[in-house]
Amino acid sequence: MKNAGRIDGRTQLIGLLATPIGHSLSPAMHNLAFEKLGLNNVYMAFEVGNEQLEEVVRGLRALNIRGYNVSMPNKTTILQYLDELDDSARFTGAVNTVVNTNGKLKGYSTDGSGYVRNLREHGIDLKGKKMTLVGSGGAATPIAIEAARAGLAEISIFARDDQFFARAKENVRIINEDMKHAQVKASIYPLEDQEQLREEIRTSHIFANGTGVGMKPLEGKSVIEDVSMLRSDLIVTDVVYSPAKSRLIEQAESVGATAINGLGMMLWQGALAFELWTGQEMPVDFIKEQLF
Ligand code: NAD
């Protein structure tokens, strides 16, 4: 009989639970990696919202599948259905990866560690450095937490006066109080105070945008109003990867700063989840070459 494809009776499923889901790059990324490494897994995306989540988690546990990614709107709702949380998930209050070990479900957040790992791939070590970060939503929160855990000396968080401001305060509290051993000092400032922003960036090694400013519908916009806030020995990172060159990345390049967009963070959050499920390293360079 002809081989009808690589799926057989032993193929293990890895899932993604989110809605909307059609735009996700994760299935292409993980399936390509499984194929490249000859792993007998398949990655499938499932349109799941908060209403179905509990039942879906129960069903997947019964099927004993190895794990899954969780994206919006399920990243915080999922916490109550899991048996255990890694510190990455506990401190951020969100989960993007679930691993099933003998029926026990453990939640992780690999977004922040993906950010840190991508910086390391660029030869940047956060130990002893100061970061100024804008935002406190789903992308900025794990960046703040994992950068602090990776050894930052100081982090200044700027947040707009909106529904995310309380989370910015909570991130600062967690870093200063719950992560005392990390010896990092966190401060919070209103984003409206551009002069304070200028001052914090002036004394920082890294400036990070953790907001969607620069991406549709805010394409062409930047959290930096005046490019003279940036300088050539600054590292500027953006969570935005579409467009590949956001306004902030263009501003950073125009002053000769090191400019890193959000693609690497996105790839590495996937690669770290892949490693948690399979115990193997994702062939990141190959994936980048094939998909981006
Ligand atoms: P979110 O809705 O959870 O948070 C949005 C954040 O942006 C909040 O802090 C909010 O205060 C701030 N914000 C929104 N509009 C603003 C404005 N006009 N000025 C200043 N601040 C503003 O969203 P999220 O999930 O954190 O996503 C933010 C961006 O990060 C999106 O562009 C998303 O595509 C990107 N993202 C990238 C990765 C990656 O791996 N590179 C991962 C997750 C999200």
Cβ–ligand 1 distance for 241 under 6 Å, the answer: yes
**Three-state secondary-structure class, residue 57:** helix
Is 75 one of the annotated active-site residues of the chain?
A: yes
Ligand 1 proximity of 226 Cβ (cutoff 6 Å): no
Closest C-alpha among 118, 174, 169, 166 to residue 145: 174
Q: Does residue 251 have its Cβ closer than 6 Å to ligand 1? A: no
Rounded Cα distance, 34 and 219, in Å: 34
Question: Is pLDDT at 4 greater than 80 in this prediction?
Answer: no
Convert the pLDDT of each residue in 131-186 to its tens digit.
Answer: 999 999 999 999 999 999 999 999 999 999 999 999 999 999 999 999 877 889 99
Distance in Å, CA 279 to ligand 1 centroid: 30
- What pLDDT score was predicted for residue 287? 96
Whose structure tokens read 């966190």? 186
pLDDT in tens, 23-59: 999 999 999 999 999 999 999 999 999 999 999 999 9
Total-model pTM: 0.95
Geometric angle at alpha carbon 129, from 203 and 117, rounded to 5°: 130
Considering the candidates 75, 106, 129, 130, report the single residue annotated as catalytic: 75
Residue located nearest, by CA, to atom 39 of ligand 1:
266
What pLDDT sits at residue 52? 97
Reported as a single tens digit per residue, the pLDDT across 209-262 is 999 999 999 999 999 999 999 999 999 999 999 999 999 999 999 999 999 999
| Closest of 142, 192, 126, 138 to residue 164, by C-alpha | 138
Separation between Cα atoms, residue 169 and residue 145, nearest integer Å: 13
| Angstrom distance (rounded) from CA 282 to CA 33 | 6
Q: Is 102 left (phi over 0), alpha (psi -120 to 50) or beta?
A: left
